[in-house]
């Protein structure tokens, strides 16, 4: 009696593995190739399973304190993000970063004594939202950003943090005179300085950061060929 083979591998054998020549052996482990059928994963996998696995593992490394903080933030799912369920909470990557940032600040300074925060480049406002909820005595939070992003963050923050919305000031980054002379207890920049010209960064440093008490910056630096991460378009 012949061993029964699944329809899946009958089709794969007849298509992907029908011609195992030298050229096949030289390339079969390249991304997007047949190795996704042989090994554990492919970086171009069209599903979210590996992303969710990494998100889940990151959340599982948290101390118990982090879950309490995440729950305290409240509505973290505006915009319908991808989430994983960990210890009864639906956790998404944006607010996972927010909690990590808060715990870092908490470990190096008396974050609860901060009165005024300035954020340069706030995106949709997730850091502002988290800190407003986690520092209830915060007096003011100023966002300096491009007008299109200010419109988004204002709408999101009005929805997710209505009890603290009156503490937020929105300043148009393209109108330099509006932010040249502001200062705060803490200045924050997350994932945006690397997208600015050096002269713009210098202006923010000299006009805002240098006049403030603390500065938190978290920007990735990557040096790589675009092709090495799957970017083929010029």
For the stretch 3-12, pLDDT in tens is 677 888 788 8
Average pLDDT, the chain: 91
Nearest to 125 by CA among 149, 103, 153: 153
For the stretch 56-97, pLDDT in tens is 999 999 999 999 999 999 999 999 999 999 999 999 999 999
Is there a contact between 149 and 122 (Cβ–Cβ < 8 Å)? yes
pTM assigned to the model: 0.84
pLDDT band at 221 (very low <50, low <70, confident <90, very high): confident
């Amino acid at each position: 009696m012949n061993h029964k083979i699944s329809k899946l591998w009958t089709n794969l054998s007849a298509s992907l593995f029908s011609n195992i020549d030298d050229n096949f052996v030289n390339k079969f482990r390249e991304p997007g190739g047949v190795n996704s059928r042989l090994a554990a994963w492919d970086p171009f996998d069209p599903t979210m399973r590996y992303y969710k696995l990494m998100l889940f593992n990151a959340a599982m490394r948290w101390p118990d304190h982090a879950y309490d903080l995440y729950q305290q933030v409240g509505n973290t799912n505006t915009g319908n993000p991808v989430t994983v369920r960990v210890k009864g909470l639906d956790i998404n990557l944006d607010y996972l970063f927010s909690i990590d940032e808060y715990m870092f600040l908490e470990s190096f300074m008396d974050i609860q004594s901060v009165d005024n925060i300035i954020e340069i480049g706030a995106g949709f406002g997730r850091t502002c939202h988290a800190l407003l909820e986690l520092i209830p005595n915060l007096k003011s939070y100023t966002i300096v950003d491009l007008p299109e992003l200010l419109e988004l963050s204002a709408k999101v923050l009005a929805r997710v943090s209505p009890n603290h919305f009156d503490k937020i000031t929105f300043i148009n980054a393209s109108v330099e005179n509006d932010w040249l002379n502001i200062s705060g207890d803490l200045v924050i920049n997350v994932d945006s300085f690397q997208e600015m010209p050096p002269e713009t960064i210098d202006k923010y440093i000299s006009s805002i950061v240098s006049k403030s008490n603390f500065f938190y910056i978290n920007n990735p630096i990557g040096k790589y060929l675009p092709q090495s991460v799957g970017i083929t378009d010029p």
